[in-house]
Structure 1
């Protein structure tokens, strides 16, 4: 009888510990997403300042980066192109620190609107979570800090191993590459695969509300 009581007690202790751990992970995940979204608000303010005076502005005093673009994903619906999620603000540099607050422009690639491969990376559990819903033909809309608007149309999506570096290779023509970890529903820290979205510049002006 005593053994059964001890076994039952251990069983309940395990259940309680697992519940506490699960709640802790949920709270941590919620905190990370809240931090990421609030950071985007501060980055947006810095971007708007740059549009006014053409000077780079840090989103907060201790930041070692600044916003370089505003990005919007547009999906084709029956009534025209509609935004997929809210606007995103892209930071200079795709370091781990920067990606915690927003998508990052890889400095080894081409700049916004320049000839070559413009590469933007983001986290799959926050800003680039929406990439799992994009389709061929959707539009990526980018605004530079000079107010220039550049449109890209999605031409391909693929999953590659983290060791596959061809997606980072320079291109002769203008090209946009978006990168995030894969799969989207597996949020462990070490992902072996990357989800790649490739897009080419277009001249058309999509209409949306």
Structure 2
């Protein structure tokens, strides 16, 4: 009898964990918006001025706040970007490392996402592909110049940059059970920026 009760308890725990994981998986994947290549982004822009100090984020986003979107043309997908990289944030979208630069700023902007939900399509990207980040401040286009794999403890990927750079990071290998031992790193340089007239985030 005790063995049967123990087996039933373990089964219940297993089913519960599977249900929770499925919920988190769906929460992440449902945050992705599929778009057509010729579909207009939810933003109206104008050419940026030559002011090197722009963009100026007068109010920094608070932790957990959605403040931007990432559009990847090759994948035809738009992802919500939230401030911070805590567990709750990464379950619902892409997270921005708080200590890194905000999109469009000089220096280094770092975004992170789970390999099995929002960033599972990163493996399809190639050098020279574009990444577009939109915020209420501007629309910023980056071009990928490097894709590499590093160990999980390689902190060089967080280093400051002499120019506006965007880094996407996720765990690697993409198909791996448990804590993945490596990181998939995509580096892109800012090639264009436009001021936003109106910004209508999709979510």
- Kept in 1: contact 2:31–2:79 (CA 8 A): no
2:142 corresponds in structure 1 to 152
Residue 97 of structure 1 and its aligned partner are, at CA, apart by: 2.1
- The count of residues paired between Structure 1 and Structure 2 equals 162
Q: What's the secondary structure of 2:24's corresponding residue?
A: helix
Q: What's the secondary structure of 1:34's corresponding residue?
A: helix
Residue 25 of structure 1 and its aligned partner are, at CA, apart by: 7.4
More strand by share: 2
1:56/1:66 CA distance change after superposition, 3 Å: farther
Residue 38 of structure 1 and its aligned partner are, at CA, apart by: 4.5
- Kept in 2: contact 1:85–1:130 (CA 8 A): no
2:88 corresponds in structure 1 to 97
Distance in 2 (alpha carbons) for counterparts of 1:113 and 1:107? 15
- Kept in 1: contact 2:127–2:145 (CA 8 A): yes
Q: Which has the higher contact order (CA 8 A, sep 6+)?
A: 2
1:65 corresponds in structure 2 to 64
CA RMSD of aligned residues (A): 3.1
**TM-score normalized with structure 1 length:** 0.67
Whether 2:185 is the aligned partner of 1:193: answer: no
1:161/1:90 CA distance change after superposition, 3 Å: same
Among candidates 140, 156, 170, match of residue 166 of structure 1 = 156
**TM-score normalized with structure 2 length:** 0.69
1:153-204: CA deviation from partner (whole Å, max 9, x where unpaired): 111111101111111001111001000000001141x222100000011139
Distance in 1 (alpha carbons) for counterparts of 2:31 and 2:142? 26
> Counterparts of 1:174-185 in structure 2 under 5 Å?
174-185=164-175
Distance in 2 (alpha carbons) for counterparts of 1:86 and 1:153? 16
Q: Any stretches of 5+ residues in structure 2 without a counterpart?
A: 1-9, 34-41, 43-57, 195-203
* Higher CA-based Rg: 1
Distance in 1 (alpha carbons) for counterparts of 2:124 and 2:16? 28
Q: What's the secondary structure of 2:69's corresponding residue?
A: strand
